[in-house]
Amino acid sequence: MTRIGVLALQGAFREHLDTLAAIGVEGVPVRLPEDLENLDGLILPGGESTTMRRLIDRWGLREPILRLARRGAPLFGTCAGMIVLAREIAGGEAPVLPLLDVTVERNAFGRQLDSFEAELAVPVLGNAPVHAVFIRAPIIERSGPEVDVLAKLDDGRIVAVRQGNVIATSFHPELAGETRFHRLVATMAAEHAEPGEGSGRRPHPTRRSRA
Ligand code: GLN
C-alpha cells in the first residue's frame, strides 16, 4: 500500500491525514527523520512558514526531506508548505527546501483580505472547478521555465504549480473537501513505489551472469 507522510510539526496537518484516509491512502504523521523512512511521498501543510522552518531545522528534517525528493517521491506543499518548497522568498528570507523554481510572496493578499474562497479551473484535475480556500496565502510572483502552471486567479496571478515530482498550491484543498490533488499525489507516489522496469528504488534481484 502507498504510504504518504504529512509533516506534522505545526499547522493544518490533521486535515491532510483525514483527506488521505478519505481516499484510502495510508497517511503517516512525520515529526522525526526516521518517520520519513519507507514513505512514497510527503505533504507539507499550511500553517506558519517561519515556525515550520525552525521546527524542520530543530528536528534535522531538511536533508532527509531533500533526499526523499531527490529519489523522485512526490512532494505536495499547501500554503506555508509552498513557501517552504520555494527556491526564492520575496524580501530576502533564506529558502528552506528549495525544490521549486519559483519566487513566492508571503501574505500576498494583505491584511484587509485575510482569507477568501474562489472557484478555480485546474485543468489537470478535470473539468469541475476546485473550491479553493486562501488563508493569509502566498502568491507565486515568478515561475521558472521548468515549472508548469496548474492554476491562476482571474487576474492572472499563479496559485498552483508543478515541477516534476513537486506540486504546490497557495490555497488549502484539504479544508474544502477537495480530494483530487491528494489523488494525483497518491498516483505519483504509487508510480514512484512501483516503477516500471529498469528504474526506481525497488531492490533489484541479484544480477547473475548468464554465461
Ligand atoms: N501566512 C503564512 C506564512 O507566511 C501561510 C498561511 C497558511 O499556510 N495558511 O507562513
| Per annotation, catalytic residue among 174, 178, 182, 192 | 174
Centre of ligand 1 from the C-alpha of residue 61, in Å: 20
Centre of ligand 1 from the C-alpha of residue 204, in Å: 42
Query: Cα separation of 177 and 179, whole Å?
Result: 6
C-alpha cell at 133: 480556500
Query: β-pairing, 86-89 with 75-78?
Result: unpaired
Query: β-pairing, 100-105 with 115-120?
Result: unpaired
CATH superfamily membership of 3-193:
Class I glutamine amidotransferase (GATase) domain (3.40.50.880)
Give the C-alpha distances (Å, rounded to integers) separating 159 from 56, 127, 142, 179: 24, 18, 11, 17
The atom of ligand 1 lying closest to the CA of 106 is 4
Residue 52 Cβ inside 6 Å of ligand 1? The answer reads no
Residue 136 Cβ inside 6 Å of ligand 1? The answer reads yes
At residue 32, φ and ψ (nearest 5 deg) are -130, 155
**Which spans in the chain are helix H?**
13-22, 49-58, 62-70, 80-85, 180-193
C-alpha cell at 193: 513505489
Residue type, 71: R
Q: CB under 8 Å to 48, separation ≥6 — which residues?
A: 10, 11, 80
Look up 63 and say whether it is catalytic.
no
The structural domains of the chain, with segments of one domain joined by +, span 3-193
Centre of ligand 1 from the C-alpha of residue 108, in Å: 10
Q: Which of 106, 78, 80 is nearest to 92 (CA)?
A: 106
DSSP assignment of 95-107: PSS--EEEEEETT
Centre of ligand 1 from the C-alpha of residue 81, in Å: 8
Query: Cα separation of 164 and 180, whole Å?
Result: 18
pLDDT values of the chain reduced to their tens digit, one per residue, 211 residues = 899 999 999 999 999 999 999 999 999 999 999 999 999 999 999 999 999 999 999 999 999 999 999 999 999 999 999 999 999 999 999 999 999 999 999 999 876 578 999 999 999 999 999 999 999 999 999 999 999 999 999 999 999 999 999 999 999 999 999 999 999 999 999 999 887 644 444 444 444 444 4
Look up 172 and say whether it is catalytic.
yes
Q: Which of 99, 79, 94, 89 is nearest to 160 (CA)?
A: 79
Look up 197 and say whether it is catalytic.
no
Provide the whole-model pTM: 0.91
